Amino acid sequence: MVITRKAEFSASHVCRVDSLSDKENRELFGEEAHPNGHGHNYILEVSVEGEIDPVTGMVMNLSDLREILDQEVVQPMDHRFLNKEVPPFDRTIPTVENIAIEIWKLISPSLSKPPAKLHAVRVYETPDLYVDYFGDAR
Ligand SMILES: [Zn+2]
């Protein structure tokens, strides 16, 4: 069974490649490249998979999952300028793709063994744009 918990955080970012000109960055990233940054209300959906415990009827205690998301993702990223305040985004472009990979790295150590293993990280950057990450750079 796969069970999913949602969390939200607001953060700002700039998407640009330093070695490219302003014009090239604008062509590549559009408004995302504006040097002063802009914000998004990110929505995170984290799915864990496991077998249902016959005694509790649960895959895992979902308040434990909320605590992991809060400590590893929401507290460090909420109301931050990702490029300046949240490593590795001082050197990795904080596209929604890279944000999903980073969140996977942050939470997977806490969700690496039974009863519940990390299955997917979904990050919405806008209501109509999201990425799914399943680990191993896929
Ligand atoms: Zn953006």
Distance 14 CA to ligand 1 centre (A): 6
DSSP for residue 135: S
Has this prediction a pTM greater than 0.85? yes
For ligand 1, the distance from its centroid to the CA atom of residue 5, given in whole angstroms, is 23
Share the mean pLDDT of the chain: 95
- Report the distance separating Cα 10 and Cα 75, nearest Å: 11
Q: CB within 8 A of 72, min separation 6: which ones? A: 103, 106, 107, 110
Residue-wise pLDDT for 83-103, tens only, equals 999 999 999 999 999 999 999
pLDDT above 70: percentage of residues in the chain: 99
Output the CA 38–ligand 1 centroid distance in Å: 6
- Tens digits of residue pLDDT in 114-136: 788 999 999 999 999 999 999 98
Cβ atoms 89, 106 nearer than 8 A: no
Q: Going edge to edge, which strands form the sheet with 129-133?
A: 80-81, 2-13, 38-49, 117-126, 129-133
Average pLDDT over residues 67-81: 98
Say if CB 45 and CB 65 are below 8 A apart. Answer: no
**Distance of CA 78 from the midpoint of ligand 1 (Å):** 15
